[in-house]
C-alpha cells in the first residue's frame, strides 16, 4: 500500500519558528581540537568507507563498509561478506545501515535490501521486500516501533513492515508493506514511541499503529517554498538529559515542541553554516549534541546555544574528520565516527575532564584576586589566563615593551614568577636580587631591591614568591627569609638558621604561611619552620638512618592537611615521594611508588574540597585519599598536557578547581568530575584454540555449536588438551590498557593476573571438568567480580577404555612371536655391531687428533703430527704475563677441596677466554699461578698491547667475581699480574704428556713483575711500557726503581684503563691492527654426552646476563657441550625482550637481577608477546636458591631454575628438559 504525504492529517504551521529564524543575525563558530584515535584497514578493518555503526547486545561493535560487515572486539575484526555460492551470507557486501533492536537482534541494511543477522549461527536471513519498480534504494535508517513493526528509510523511499504476529526469534513471520512517498528518506524514534521522518525534504511526525493507519502530522508546511528553502529535511534527535527534541537542518538547529510541533530557533545562519545536517546526530551524557556531517564534526551546546567546530589534536587525522558519514555513542560513552574512506575515529569524552592548554613549559602558577590565573612562561614577563572563555586576558612579553627606561636597567626582560597582592599589584621576580612591582590601575612599574641596609648588594635568588595570610610578600634569599610589606615596600629579612646553598636548586623551594602566622619553608636542606612572633626557627632534615624523618633532603612543596591545617602537613620531595608530617610529634610517614605513587619526585601538592590530595610528578598526576591510603594515577592518556610537570606550577582557585603546569602547558580540572566509574566491564570469550588451531563452530567434529561468546562450554578429547582462550572487555576507549585476571577452576589454585594479555593457555590437562573464568577492570581500576565463565570437559584417554585392555592381550601374544623372529635377525645385528665399533674406533682417533690441537698451538701440533717432533725456537720479542692469588693458602683453607677446584676452574676458564680474545697463548698453570705469552708461537700474534689489555680484563673479571662471592658470603681471591717483554726460547717438553713451554730470563723477570706488584694491579716492566705507552686508552703510574728478588732494582709501572668497560666490551680488532683476534679452534666434542648433544645440536640460545664473567662461564660450558650452538648475549631485560621479538630462539637463559629491566619483568613482557613468541622456554638463573625466589621466578612465567655459579650438567639438563616439553609454561 502506498500513501501520499499530501493526504496526511493535522497540519501544524510553524509561523513563530520560521519568523524567528529569518530574523537571526550571523554568529561565530568556536573551534576545539580533541584527541581522537583511528581504526583503519591497517588494524584489520575490511574497507575505509564506514557508512553505519552499531553495538549489539553482547557489546561488540559493528561497522558497515563498502566491502563487508565488520564485528570488532577491541583487538581483532571478524568480517562478513557476500558469497555468491552461499545463500546464508549477507545479501550484499556494501553495508549502508545497522540497527540493534530491543530484542537484541541485529538488522543489516545494504545497497540492495535488508537482512536479519542470526548471532547464534552467524547466518543472514534475507527480508523479501520488493519496491514497485524492483529497486527501493540503499538502506539509511532502520527502526522498530513500540508495536513491533519495522520502519526502513532508504535513498528512495520510506517503508513500513507490519508483521502478522509478534516475534522475538530470527524466524521472520509474514508481513505487509506500506510505502510513504518517493525520495531520500530518514526515520528516527523517541522514547514516547513517536517516529520522526523525512521523505523528499518533507518532515513529518508519525504516531505508529498496528493494523490500522498511522497518525501522521507534517511540520513547517505553511509556506512550502520558503520553509523548504529554510529547513530542507529536518532531522529530529531526542535529548534524554533535558527531555527536549531538537531538529537539525542544513543551516541551523531548532527546538521542536512535542505537543504542537512548533519550532523555536536555536541557531541559524545560511552564510556561516554549510550542510550542518547529519544522518545520525547524537546527544552525550552531558546534553551536548554531536553532528557528524560531510563537512566535518560539530558539537552544539543547547543551553549556551554555542556551536563548536571540532578538529583533531593530531594533524595527521585532519583528513579523516573532514568528511563524516555516521556517529554514535557506545554504552560506555565512547564516541564513534564513520568516515568517508578513512576508517573509524573514536573519542573518549572522559579526557575532557582535564582542561588542557598547550602553551610550552610553565615555570609557575598563581591565582589573581578576580579568579584568573597568572601563568609564568619562559621568555615572558606577565601572562594572565581567564578560565571562563579559556583565553589569555593579559600578555606582556617584555618589561622594556612597556617601560623602556626601566627595562634598560635589567639584564633580562622576563619574570620567573609573578603573584598578585591584595591591592591587585603584580610582584615578579625578575633577576638576581631584583623584584618588579606593577600596578595595573596606576599603570606604574618600579624595581624593588630588598637589602638589610641601603647600599648593600642584592640578595641573590628572591624565589619563590608567596602572598601570606598576613597579606605580606614572602620570598627566599641568600641571607634569609624576606618579608615585604606590599604597601610600604618595607623589607625585613629573617636570617636562615643554616647556611644557604643554591645547589642543585635555589635554596628556597616552597613557602606556606598558616592562619596562625607560622611560615613553613621548603629548602634544599629540609623543611624549616619560622615563627614570626618569636623570631625562632626549627629545622626538619633527612636522616638516612631514621625512617621517621624527612624522606629526602630537598622539599618541593608544602600543603596543609585539610582536616588539621595547623598541625599536619603534606610534603612533596625530590626523590623521596610524599611525606606526611605531624608537627605535634615531629614524625614523618612516607608514601612512595611502593604505596602506589607513580613517581617519587613530587613537584606540587594541593588538597581538594573532599579532603583528598593531588600531586604533580614526572609520571603524571596522582590523587591520594588520606583516609584509605589509596592512590589513583592519571597520565597523558587521560588528557594531561604530558606526564612531566614542573616545580612551583600549581595552585587552587576559588571554585575548588586545581591547576598544574608542566613541560607542554597546563591543566585545570574540578576534582568532583573525576569520580570513579563504578560500572564493571563485560568480558566476552572471543575465541578458542585446540592445539593452536582455532575452533570453527558448527564445522564437522567441532566441539562448539555456536560462537564462543555465546557458548557455555564444550567437551574435548584428551589428545587435544592444549586449550587457548582469547577474551576481550566490551569497552573500547583504550583496549590496550585493559587489565585481566583469569582462573581455570580445578587447575589453578588462585586467580592469575594477566596484565594486558587477553589470552590464556593451558596444556596437559587431566581428564575431568573445569570452569574457566575471566574478569576485567574498567578504566578506573574497578574489577568485574562476576566476569564470564566457560565449562570445559576433558574426556579420558583411550588407554583407560575396555578395548585398550583387549588390545594389550593381543600385543603380548604378538610380542612372543616377535621375540622368536628376533633370534633370526640377531646374527645380522652382530655384523652391524662390528661395523659400528670400527666406526667408533675411527672417531676416537679423530678425537685424539683434535685433543692434541687443543693442548698445543695449532702450528706446533701440525709440526708434531707431520714430523713426529717439534723443534725449539728462539723468539726476540715475547710479552710474558704472570698472575697468582695473594694469600692463596689462607683463602683455600676456608674452602672444601671441591669448592677450591671449582673456583680455580671458573677463574682459569675465564682467563682462557680472555687469552683467546686477544690472541695470547696460554702456557700453563702451576697451582694458583697462571702464565701466558704473546708473540709465541706466532710472532705476529698477541702483541704487547694485547697482553696488557688481557691483564686488565683479568683484573676486571676478578673484581666482578669478588663482588659476586662477597654478596653470597663466600671467601674471595685477590690477584697480582706482572708483565715483561723480551726474548725467550719456546718448545715442547715431555715424551708422553706433551706440554708447550717457554724459557729464558724474560720469564723470570715477568715473574718478578708479578711478585713485586699489588693486588688488583697490573705491574709492567720498562720494556713493556716503552711498547704500549702511546696507547691513549691506558693510564700509567710510574713506580720508579723497585727492588726485585734476584734482579736488583727494576723500573716498574702500574697500568690502568681510562674506561675498563670500553676495553671489556670492545672487539680487539677495533683497538689496534697489531692486536689480533682469538685463535680459531675446532669445537671439542663430549663423547660421553653423545645422545644429549644430538638433541641439542644447533640449538638457538639467548643469554641475558649483565655480568661478563658469568656470561663467559656460561658460554664456555655451552660451547664445549653443544655442537653448532648459536648463542646471542644481551646485557639487560629490555634487550632480551627486543631480541625475542625480533628473532627466533629455542630457549632463553635469563638472569633475574639486571639493570633497566630485571628478569621477572622481562619474562612477563615476553609472555605478553603475540603468537609463539610468548611460549619460548625461559630458564631462570640466580644465586638465591631459596624456595621463595624459585616460586617468584615460576610465577613470573619462567620454565626452569638454575642456581649460580653455573655447573655444566645443570645447564644442559635444564635446556634438555624444556626442549623436551617438560616444565614449560
Q: In whole numbers, what is the pLDDT of the chain averaged over residues? A: 87
3-state secondary structure of 912: helix
Using CB atoms within 10 Å of the CB of residue 739, give its burial: 0 to 12 exposed, 13 to 18 middle, 19+ buried: middle
Query: Residue 4: its pLDDT value, please?
Result: 44
Query: Residue 475: its pLDDT value, please?
Result: 95
CB atoms within 10 A of CB 446: 12
Phi, psi of 615 (to 5 degrees): -140, 145
Q: Which has the closest alpha carbon to 346: 422, 307, 292?
A: 292
Say whether pLDDT at 5 is over 60.
no
pLDDT in tens, 532-542: 999 999 999 99
pLDDT in tens, 210-237: 888 888 876 543 333 333 334 557 889 9
Q: Which has the closest alpha carbon to 377: 388, 355, 392?
A: 392
What does each C-alpha distance from 284 to 74, 195, 680, 1190 come to in angstroms?
Answer: 22, 21, 20, 52
pLDDT in tens, 177-186: 999 888 899 9
**Over residues 1161-1190, mean pLDDT:** 86
Check: CB of residue 1182 under 8 Å from CB of residue 964.
no
What does each C-alpha distance from 626 to 44, 222, 588, 591, 611 come to in angstroms?
Answer: 46, 65, 14, 11, 8
Give the Cα separation of 949 and 879 in Å (integer).
12
Sorted by sequence, the CB contacts under 8 Å of residue 192 that are 6+ apart come out as: 258
Give the Cα separation of 131 and 158 in Å (integer).
11
Q: For residue 907, give the H/E element and its range.
A: helix 897-918
Maximum CA extent, the chain = 130
Query: Residue 457: its pLDDT value, please?
Result: 66
Check: CB of residue 159 under 8 Å from CB of residue 129.
yes
Phi, psi of 769 (to 5 degrees): -115, 130
Check: CB of residue 526 under 8 Å from CB of residue 542.
yes
* Residue 868: all three cell numbers together: 713426529
Give the Cα separation of 144 and 127 in Å (integer).
15
pLDDT in tens, 699-758: 998 999 999 999 999 999 988 889 999 999 999 998 998 999 999 999 999 999 999 999
* Residue 44: all three cell numbers together: 584489520
Question: ∠868-870-872 over CA atoms, to 5°?
Answer: 155
Q: What percent of the chain has pLDDT over 90?
A: 57
Give the Cα separation of 278 and 289 in Å (integer).
11
Q: For residue 1160, give the H/E element and its range.
A: helix 1159-1167
Give the Cα separation of 1097 and 54 in Å (integer).
55
Q: Which has the closest alpha carbon to 614: 554, 648, 659, 567?
A: 659
Q: DSSP 3-state helix, strand, coil percentages of the chain (rounded to 5)?
A: 25, 35, 40
- Based on its alpha-carbon atoms, the radius of gyration of the chain, rounded to whole angstroms, reads 41
Give the Cα separation of 321 and 312 in Å (integer).
8
pLDDT in tens, 813-862: 888 888 888 888 887 787 777 677 767 766 665 565 555 555 566 556 55
* Residue 475: all three cell numbers together: 620570598
CB atoms within 10 A of CB 633: 17
Say whether pLDDT at 773 is over 90.
yes
Q: Which has the closest alpha carbon to 246: 211, 276, 213?
A: 276
pLDDT band at 418 (very low <50, low <70, confident <90, very high): very high
Sorted by sequence, the CB contacts under 8 Å of residue 471 that are 6+ apart come out as: 421, 422, 486
Sorted by sequence, the CB contacts under 8 Å of residue 206 that are 6+ apart come out as: 194, 195, 196, 197, 214, 215, 216
Query: Residue 120: its pLDDT value, please?
Result: 94
Phi, psi of 790 (to 5 degrees): -150, 125
Check: CB of residue 1059 under 8 Å from CB of residue 1033.
yes
Sorted by sequence, the CB contacts under 8 Å of residue 754 that are 6+ apart come out as: 739, 740, 741, 742, 760
What is the DSSP-derived secondary structure letter of residue 710?
A: G
Strand ranges in 150-214 using DSSP code E only, listed in sequence order:
150-154, 158-163, 175-180, 185-189, 195-199, 202-207
Check: CB of residue 1183 under 8 Å from CB of residue 964.
yes
Give the Cα separation of 694 and 687 in Å (integer).
7
**Which runs of consecutive H residues, i.e. helices, occur in 363-488?**
399-402, 404-408
Phi, psi of 465 (to 5 degrees): -100, 140
| Residues belonging to the chain | 1225
Query: Residue 1073: its pLDDT value, please?
Result: 33
Q: Which of 64-73, 208-217, 246-255, 485-494 has the lowest mean pLDDT?
A: 208-217
User: Rounded to a whole number, what is the distance in angstroms from the first to the last CA of the chain?
Assistant: 67
Check: CB of residue 559 under 8 Å from CB of residue 606.
yes
**Is the whole model's pTM more than 0.75, yes or no?**
no
3-state secondary structure of 1215: helix
Check: CB of residue 786 under 8 Å from CB of residue 762.
no
Q: Grid cell 574540597 — which residue?
A: 609
Q: Which has the closest alpha carbon to 299: 242, 352, 228?
A: 352
Query: Residue 1086: its pLDDT value, please?
Result: 39
3-state secondary structure of 182: coil
Higher-confidence residue of 993 and 803: namely 803
Q: Grid cell 555456536 — which residue?
A: 706
In the Cβ-directed half-sphere of 752, how many Cα atoms lie within 13 Å? 23
Check: CB of residue 626 under 8 Å from CB of residue 582.
no
Q: For residue 99, give the H/E element and its range.
A: strand 95-100
Q: Spell out the domains of the chain, with CATH numbers in brackets.
A: 8-347 (2.130.10.10), 355-674 (2.130.10.10), 683-800 (2.60.40.10), 803-855 (no CATH), 868-1070 (3.30.70.1230), 1087-1219 (3.40.50.2300)
Say whether pLDDT at 143 is over 90.
yes
Q: Which has the closest alpha carbon to 345: 677, 738, 730, 45?
A: 45
3-state secondary structure of 952: helix
Using CB atoms within 10 Å of the CB of residue 1120, give its burial: 0 to 12 exposed, 13 to 18 middle, 19+ buried: middle
3-state secondary structure of 1167: helix
CB atoms within 10 A of CB 33: 16
pLDDT in tens, 779-800: 777 898 889 999 999 998 877 7
Query: Residue 14: its pLDDT value, please?
Result: 39
Q: Does 504 sit behind a cis peptide bond, omega within 30 degrees of 0 on the bond before it?
A: yes
Say whether pLDDT at 939 is over 90.
no
Sorted by sequence, the CB contacts under 8 Å of residue 855 that are 6+ apart come out as: 861, 994, 995, 996
312 bridge partner residues: 34
Q: Does 1205 sit behind a cis peptide bond, omega within 30 degrees of 0 on the bond before it?
A: yes
Q: Which has the closest alpha carbon to 45: 388, 283, 257, 320?
A: 320
What does each C-alpha distance from 79 to 64, 72, 724, 946 come to in angstroms?
Answer: 10, 9, 22, 64
**Over residues 359-370, mean pLDDT:** 94
* Residue 660: all three cell numbers together: 598544574
Higher-confidence residue of 1175 and 574: namely 574
What does each C-alpha distance from 763 to 64, 720, 766, 768 come to in angstroms?
Answer: 39, 9, 9, 14
Phi, psi of 426 (to 5 degrees): -90, 130
pLDDT in tens, 460-508: 789 899 999 999 999 999 889 999 999 999 999 999 999 999 888 999 9
pLDDT band at 1112 (very low <50, low <70, confident <90, very high): confident
Give the Cα separation of 171 and 1206 in Å (integer).
69
Amino acid at each position: 500500500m502506498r500513501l501520499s504525504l499530501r493526504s496526511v492529517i493535522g497540519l501544524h504551521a510553524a509561523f513563530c519558528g520560521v519568523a524567528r529564524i529569518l530574523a537571526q543575525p550571523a554568529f561565530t563558530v568556536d573551534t576545539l581540537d580533541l584527541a581522537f584515535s583511528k581504526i583503519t584497514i591497517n588494524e584489520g578493518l575490511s574497507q575505509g568507507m564506514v557508512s553505519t555503526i552499531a553495538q549489539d547486545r553482547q557489546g561488540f561493535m559493528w561497522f558497515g563498509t563498502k566491502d563487508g560487515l565488520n564485528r570488532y572486539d577491541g583487538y581483532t575484526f571478524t568480517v562478513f561478506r557476500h558469497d555468491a555460492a552461499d545463500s546464508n551470507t549477507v545479501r550484499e557486501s556494501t553495508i549502508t545501515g545497522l540497527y540493534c533492536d530491543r530484542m537484541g537482534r541485529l538488522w543489516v541494511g545494504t545497497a540492495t535490501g535488508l537482512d536479519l543477522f542470526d548471532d547464534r549461527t552467524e547466518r543472514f536471513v534475507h527480508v523479501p521486500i520488493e519496491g514497485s519498480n524492483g529497486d527501493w534504494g540503499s538502506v539509511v535508517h532502520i527502526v522498530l516501533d513500540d508495536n513491533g513493526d519495522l520502519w526502513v528509510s532508504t535513498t528512495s523511499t520510506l517503508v513500513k513492515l507490519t508483521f502478522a504476529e509478534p516475534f522475538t526469534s530470527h524466524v521472520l513471520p509474514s508481513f505487509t508493506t506500506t510505502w510513504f512517498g518517493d525520495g531520500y528518506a530518514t526515520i528516527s524514534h523517541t522514547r514516547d514511541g513517536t517516529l520522526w521522518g523525512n521523505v523528499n525534504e518533507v518532515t513529518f511526525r508519525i504516531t505508529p499503529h498496528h493494523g490500522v493507519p498511522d497518525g501522521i502530522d507534517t511540520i513547517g508546511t505553511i509556506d512550502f517554498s520558503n520553509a523548504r528553502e529554510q529547513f530542507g529535511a529536518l532531522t529530529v534527535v531526542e535529548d534524554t538529559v533535558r527531555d527536549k527534541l531538537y531538529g537539525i537542518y542544513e543551516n541551523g538547529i531548532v527546538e521542536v515542541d512535542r505537543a504542537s510541533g512548533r519550532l523555536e530557533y536555536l541557531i541559524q545562519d545560511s552564510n556561516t553554516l554549510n550542510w550542518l545536517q547529519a544522518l545520525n546526530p547524537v546527544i552525550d551524557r552531558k546534553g551536548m549534541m554531536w553532528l557528524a556531517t560531510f563537512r566535518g564534526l560539530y558539537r552544539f551546546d543547547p543551553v549556551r546555544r554555542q556551536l563548536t567546530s571540532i578538529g583533531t589534536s593530531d594533524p595527521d587525522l585532519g583528513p579523516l574528520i573532514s568528511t563524516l558519514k555516521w556517529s554514535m555513542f557506545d554504552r560506555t560513552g565512547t564516541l564513534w565516527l564513520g568516515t568517508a574512506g578513512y576508517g573509524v575515529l573514536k573519542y573518549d569524552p572522559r579526557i575532557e575532564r582535564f582542561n588542557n592548554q598547550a602553551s610550552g613549559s610553565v615555570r609557575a602558577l598563581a591565582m589573581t584576586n578576580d579568579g584568573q590565573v597568572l601563568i609564568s612562561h619562559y621568555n615572558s614577563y606577565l601572562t594572565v589566563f581567564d578560565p571562563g572563555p579559556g583565553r589569555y586576558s593579559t600578555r606582556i612579553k617584555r618589561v622594556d615593551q612597556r617601560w623602556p627606561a626601566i627595562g634598560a636597567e635589567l639584564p633580562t626582560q622576563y619574570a620567573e614568577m609573578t603573584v598578585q597582592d591584595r591591592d591587585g599589584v603584580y610582584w615578579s621576580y625578575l633577576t638576581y636580587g631584583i623584584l618588579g612591582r606593577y600596578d595595573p590601575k596606576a599603570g606604574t612599574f618600579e624595581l624593588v631591591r630588598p637589602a638589610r641596609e641601603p647600599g648593600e648588594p642584592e640578595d641573590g635568588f628572591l624565589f619563590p614568591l608567596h602572598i601570606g595570610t598576613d597579606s605580606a610578600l614572602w620570598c627566599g634569599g641568600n641571607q634569609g627569609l624576606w618579608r615585604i610589606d606590599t604597601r610600604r615596600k618595607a623589607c625585613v629579612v629573617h636570617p636562615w638558621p643554616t647556611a644557604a646553598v643554591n645547589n642543585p636548586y635555589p635554596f628556597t623551594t616552597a613557602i606556606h604561611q598558616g592562619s596562625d602566622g607560622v611560615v613553613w619553608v621548603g629548602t634544599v636542606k629540609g623543611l624549616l619552620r619560622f615563627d614570626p612572633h618569636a623570631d625562632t626557627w626549627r629545622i626538619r632534615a633527612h636522616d638516612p638512618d631514621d625512617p621517621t624523618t624527612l624522606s629526602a633532603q630537598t622539599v618541593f612543596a608544602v600543603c596543609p592537611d585539610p582536616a588539621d591545617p595547623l598541625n599536619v602537613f603534606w610534603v612533596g620531595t625530590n626523590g623521596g615521594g610524599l611525606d606526611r608530617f605531624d608537627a605535634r610529634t615531629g614524625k614523618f610517614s612516607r608514601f612512595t611508588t611502593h604505596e602506589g605513587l607513580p613517581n617519587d619526585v613530587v613537584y606540587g601538592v594541593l588538597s581538594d574540597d573532599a579532603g583528598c590530595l593531588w600531586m604533580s610528578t614526572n609520571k603524571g598526576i596522582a590523587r591520594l585519599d588520606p583516609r584509605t591510603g589509596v592512590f589513583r594515577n592519571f597520565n597523558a592518556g587521560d588528557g594531561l598536557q604530558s606526564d612531566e610537570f614542573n616545580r612551583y606550577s600549581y595552585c587552587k582557585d576559588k571554585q575548588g578547581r586545581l591547576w598544574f603546569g608542566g613541560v607542554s602547558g597546563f591543566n585545570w580540572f574540578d576534582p568532583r568530575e573525576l569520580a570513579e566509574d563504578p560500572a564493571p566491564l563485560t568480558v566476552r570469550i572471543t575465541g578458542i584454540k585446540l592445539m593452536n588451531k582455532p575452533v570453527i563452530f558448527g564445522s564437522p567434529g567441532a566441539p562448539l555449536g555456536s560462537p564462543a561468546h555465546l557458548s557455555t562450554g564444550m567437551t574435548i578429547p584428551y589428545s587435544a588438551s592444549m586449550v587457548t582462550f582469547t577474551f576481550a572487555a566490551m569497552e573500547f576507549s583504550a583496549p590496550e590498557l585493559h587489565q585481566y585476571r583469569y582462573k581455570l577452576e580445578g587447575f589453578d589454585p588462585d586467580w592469575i593476573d594477566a596484565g594486558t594479555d587477553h589470552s590464556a593457555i593451558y596444556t596437559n590437562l587431566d581428564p575431568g571438568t573445569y570452569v574457566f573464568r575471566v574478569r576485567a577492570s574498567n578504566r578506573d581500576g574497578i574489577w568485574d567480580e562476576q566476569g564470564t565463565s566457560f565449562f570445559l570437559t576433558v574426556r579420558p584417554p583411550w588407554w583407560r577404555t575396555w578395548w585398550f585392555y583387549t588390545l594389550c592381550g593381543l600385543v603380548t601374544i604378538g610380542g612372543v612371536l616377535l621375540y622368536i623372529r628376533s633370534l633370526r635377525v640377531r646374527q645380522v645385528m652382530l655384523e652391524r655391531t662390528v661395523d659400528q665399533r670400527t666406526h667408533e674406533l675411527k672417531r676416537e682417533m679423530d678425537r685424539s687428533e683434535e685433543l692434541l690441537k687443543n693442548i698445543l698451538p695449532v702450528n706446533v701440533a701440525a709440526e708434531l703430527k707431520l714430523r713426529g717432533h717439534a723443534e725449539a725456537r728462539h723468539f726476540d720479542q715475547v710479552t710474558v704475563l704472570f698472575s697468582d692469588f695473594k694469600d692463596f693458602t689462607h683463602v683455600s683453607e676456608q674452602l672444601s677441596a671441591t669448592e677450591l677446584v671449582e673456583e680455580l676452574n671458573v677463574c682459569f676458564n675465564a682467563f682462557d677466554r680472555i687469552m683467546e680474545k686477544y690472541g695470547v697463548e696460554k702456557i700453563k698453570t702451576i697451582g694458583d699461578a697462571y702464565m701466558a705469552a704473546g708473540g709465541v708461537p706466532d710472532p705476529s700474534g698477541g702483541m704487547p698491547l694485547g697482553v696488557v689489555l688481557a691483564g686488565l680484563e683479568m683484573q676486571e673479571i676478578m673484581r666482578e667475581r669478588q663482588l659476586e662471592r662477597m654478596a653470597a658470603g663466600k671467601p674471595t681471591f685477590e690477584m697480582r699480574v706482572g708483565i715483561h717483554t723480551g726474548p725467550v726460547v719456546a718448545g715442547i717438553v715431555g715424551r708422553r704428556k706433551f706440554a708447550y713451554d717457554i724459557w729464558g730470563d724474560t720469564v723470570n723477570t715477568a715473574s718478578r713483575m708479578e711478585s713485586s706488584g699489588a693486588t688488583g694491579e697490573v705491574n709492567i716492566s720498562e720494556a713493556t711500557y716503552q711498547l704500549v705507552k702511546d696507547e691513549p686508552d691506558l693510564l700509567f703510574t710510574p713506580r720508579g726503581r723497585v727492588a726485585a728478588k734476584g734482579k736488583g732494582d727494576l723500573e716498574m709501572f702500574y697500568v690502568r684503563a681510562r674506561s675498563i668497560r670500553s676495553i671489556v666490551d670492545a672487539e680487539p680488532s677495533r683497538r689496534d691492527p697489531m692486536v689480533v683476534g682469538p685463535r680459531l679452534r675446532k669445537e671439542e666434542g663430549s663423547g660421553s654426552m653423545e645422545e644429549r648433544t644430538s638433541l641439542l645440536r644447533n640449538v638457538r640460545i639467548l643469554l641475558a646476563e649483565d655480568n661478563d664473567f658469568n656470561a663467559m662461564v656460561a658460554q664456555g660450558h655451552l660451547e664445549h657441550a653443544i655442537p653448532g650452538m648459536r648463542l646471542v648475549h644481551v646485557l639487560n631485560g629490555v634487550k632480551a625482550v627486543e631480541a625475542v621479538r625480533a628473532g627466533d630462539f629455542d630457549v632463553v637463559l635469563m638472569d633475574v637481577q639486571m639493570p633497566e629491566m630485571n628478569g621477572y619483568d622481562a619474562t612477563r613482557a615476553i609472555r605478553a608477546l603475540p603468537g609463539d613468541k610468548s611460549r619460548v622456554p625461559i630458564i631462570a638463573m640466580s644465586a638465591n636458591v631459596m624456595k621463595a625466589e624459585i616460586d617468584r621466578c615460576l610465577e613470573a612465567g619462567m620454565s626452569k631454575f638454575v642456581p649460580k655459579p653455573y655447573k655444566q650438567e645443570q645447564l644442559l639438563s635444564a635446556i634438555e628438559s624444556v626442549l623436551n616439553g617438560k616444565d614449560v609454561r
